[in-house]
Amino acid sequence: MKAAVLHERGGVPRYEDFPDPVAGDGEVVIEVLATAVENVDHAVADGTHYASDSMMPAFPAVPCFDGIGRLPDGRVVGFGNPRPPYGALAERTVVAEGHYGPIPDGIDPATATVLSTAITGMSMKTAAGLQPGETVLVQGATGVAGRLAVRIARLLGAGRVVASGRDDARLNALGADAVINTAVSDEELAEAYHREAYDVVVDFLWGRPTEVLLRSLIPAGFSFAKPTRLVQIGESAGAELTVPASALRTSGVEIYGAARGLDGGGMAEAYGQVVSWTREGALTYDLHEANLSDIETDWQRTDLHGRRLVVTMRGQ
């Protein structure tokens, strides 16, 4: 079969022949239809992700670890956790029985690859309990997930949406009520954050911008501030930050992980809502569809500007 084959940690996958997967006991071979290439896939391939060694323990190997495919009985499913070295950037892959679920009718496989990204935006409700009329700050709003989060905030009834990022032109195209450019001095950034009062922060950045944000929320005097619920999702601006005690003691800040609230039916409810919006056309996705044969070029692209790279097998 044809596949995107990575020969070394930190390399670039090449379009090559690769052995066909053979299902073992409790496994099934899936015909791949579409695969989204995300930041986590690059991190695993580069060896900078904490799970790199377990997800890609030896080379050569095929990158990417979830996608949309067809079972031998013809059902179209979303799948995850292929058995190494078989990733999702190939004509076929192999997963354990049950490591897949049905894709709703009426949703194209390429679009289906990014439904999970939309689920991260739903964390403003599932983790932070967003209520209609509240103000949302999307930290890192110009990326794929951030752009979706801005749209989801509107659909969930946010009264005001503020978007932060490093590119004024892309920020201004989002349709947010206010924008904050994070590529300024700490003092300027803190001043910009001070102009708004946030109920919920959806944070794809972490690192320096979020550190400045947390410091900016410290009251000038002793008071009991209105709570700000921050949902930690990504770390594109840095994996660590320093949080002074005063940034939590009286600021009212509450910090949650994005997975909070997804158990006990929360995931099913969030997924169902995203699917409903997608079918209605209320939630749209910015995609760049590419052929598997062009993976060496597309893997290295830096000009997608908030569009998700989705590799499809239509032209193979």
Predicted local distance difference test score (pLDDT) of residue 224: 63
Average confidence (pLDDT) over 174-201: 96
**pTM to 2 decimal places:** 0.88
* Topology of domain 2-114+285-312, CATH: Quinone Oxidoreductase; Chain A, domain 1 (3.90.180)
pLDDT(184) > 90: yes
pLDDT(223) > 70: no
pLDDT(315) > 60: no
pLDDT(316) > 60: no
Predicted local distance difference test score (pLDDT) of residue 218: 86
pLDDT tens per residue across span 106-133: 899 999 999 989 999 999 999 999 999 9
At residue 233, what is the residue type?
I
8-17, 46-55, 157-166, 271-280: segment of lowest average pLDDT:
46-55
Percent of the chain with pLDDT over 90: 82
CA distances for 153 relative to 25, 92, 118, 283, angstroms = 44, 37, 11, 11
The ranges of the chain annotated as CATH 3.90.180.10 are 2-114+285-312, 117-257
Superfamily of domain 117-257: Medium-chain alcohol dehydrogenases, catalytic domain (3.90.180.10)
Predicted local distance difference test score (pLDDT) of residue 30: 97
Average confidence (pLDDT) over 217-245: 85
